[in-house]
Amino acid sequence: MTTPQAQPFRPRKILARLLRAFGTQRWWPARTPFEVCVGAVLTQNTAWKNVERAIAALREARALTPHGLRALSRSALARRLRPAGYFNVKERRLRAFVAFLTDEFGGAVARMRQIETHALRRRLLEVHGIGRETADSILGYAVGKPIFVVDAYTRRIFSRHGWIRDDEDYDTLRARVERAWAGLSAQRRVRDFNELHALLVAVGKDYCRPRAPRCAVCPLRAMLPSSGILAPTAARHERKAGVGRPQERTPSHSRSGRRLEGFLRHSERSL
């Protein structure tokens, strides 16, 4: 679905334009596929710099392997996750993912490659605390499966250009992007989907801000409708949905873990 004023939705053109402007992003910033998975779980509802601090603490404790992480006590693990926020919630989520990885794949992320993409995605989504964005980040960046990760930046950019509705379903949007690469090799799709997501994050952070977007200097300005931005209320919508500026929306640490779990689940669903 696009609005009548919008330019045609051409994700491959978006990618080409952003690559010309920014070059390749070399995502995901991690040393091992397992570290990508850890980062994907920890980045829920927090800024990446906080995740980096938690990952550094895990590295220092030699806990950036499934075995090392399992060897830490609950309190020792939570302590190291503290910089990433909601450390008790994330401790349970990380432990659940590691149990899944260990029980079903002997602790080796590479073994997940043998499973068909959507079958593996279904299994990941059954793991406690893994929502669609987290599952797709793991699939795309750690396992190397051809899947496009949708996040709040993607939604904001696409809706401002009139390419999607504000409330477009996550999987509908993902499939619309992926369709543009139909027939191309899996290797090409993995590379392009991962690059497109990383580049949209770059645009969302530096140009397509919730308030005061910098269209005049943005590499995507030529793809705007002649009437300009089509979703001026996007920032308000994102705040209502709990995305875009998550840290301002998160409840205080004094609330119970169960309520935090509910909030974090809602936040992923709202994508």
Please give the residue ranges that form the binding site for ligand SF4 (CB under 6 A): 157, 160-161, 203, 207-208, 213-215, 218, 220-221, 224, 229
C-beta of 165 vs 221, nearer to ligand SF4? 221
Distance CA(80)–CA(110), nearest Å, equals 26
What values do phi and psi take at 17, rounded to 5?
-65, -45
Comparing C-alpha atoms, which of 28, 3, 36, 12 is closest to residue 178?
A: 12
Tell me the longest C-alpha to C-alpha distance in the chain: 58
Residues in contact with 187: Cβ distance below 8 Å, sequence separation at least 6, in sequence order: none
Q: How far is the CB of 131 from ligand SF4 (least distance, A)?
A: 25
Q: Dihedrals φ, ψ of 90, to 5°?
A: -70, -30
Select 12 or 214, whichever has its Cβ closest to ligand SF4: 214
Provide the minimum distance between the beta carbon of 221 and ligand SF4 in the complex, in angstroms, as a whole number: 4
Phi and psi (nearest 5°) for 195? -70, -40
The residue among 68 and 210 lying less far from ligand SF4, judged by its C-beta, is 210
Region for residue 169 given its phi and psi (left: phi exceeds 0; alpha: psi -120 to 50; beta: otherwise):
beta
Shortest Cβ 214–ligand SF4 spacing (Å)? 5
Dist. CA 74–CA 63, nearest whole Å: 13
Nearest-approach distance from CB 203 to ligand SF4, in angstroms = 5
Closest CB to ligand SF4 among 36 and 164?
164
| Minimum distance of ligand SF4 from residue 177's CB (angstroms) | 15
Helices 48-60 & 74-81 angle (0-180, nearest 10):
140
**Cβ closer to ligand SF4: 188 or 205?**
205
Q: At its nearest, how many Å lie between ligand SF4 and the CB of residue 227? A: 12
45, 86 Cβ separation under 8 angstroms: yes
Closer to ligand SF4 by Cβ: residue 72 or 234: 234
Rounded CA separation 49/83 (Å): 9
> The tokens of 194 are what?
């991962």
Structure tokens at 68: 């090392």
Residue (196 or 260) nearer to ligand SF4, CB: 196
Smallest gap from Cβ 268 to ligand SF4, in A, equals 23
